[in-house]
Amino acid sequence: MSQVLNMRYPKELLKRIDDFKAKKGFTTRTQTIIYLIQYALEKSEEK
């Protein structure tokens, strides 16, 4: 079962996500956003 989540992002945030995507070599914004969420969750658990 898959879930779909539609979200709106401010243009500045999308620009930063796209810059990060290009820097890290991700192919889609979705991959980049999921990576950033996972990274943030792992960092928050370390504290």
- The answer to whether residue 47 scores a pLDDT higher than 80 is no
Higher-confidence position of 26 and 5: 26
Indicate the pLDDT class of residue 44, thresholds 50, 70 and 90: very high
The C-alpha atoms of residue 45 and residue 42 are separated, in whole angstroms, by 5
- What pLDDT does residue 13 have? 94
Residue 32 buriedness (CB in 10 A; 0-12 / 13-18 / 19+): buried
> How do residues 11-35 score in pLDDT, each as one tens digit?
999 999 999 999 999 999 999 999 9
- pTM of the predicted structure, to 2 decimals: 0.77
Higher-confidence position of 37 and 1: 37
The C-alpha atoms of residue 26 and residue 20 are separated, in whole angstroms, by 8
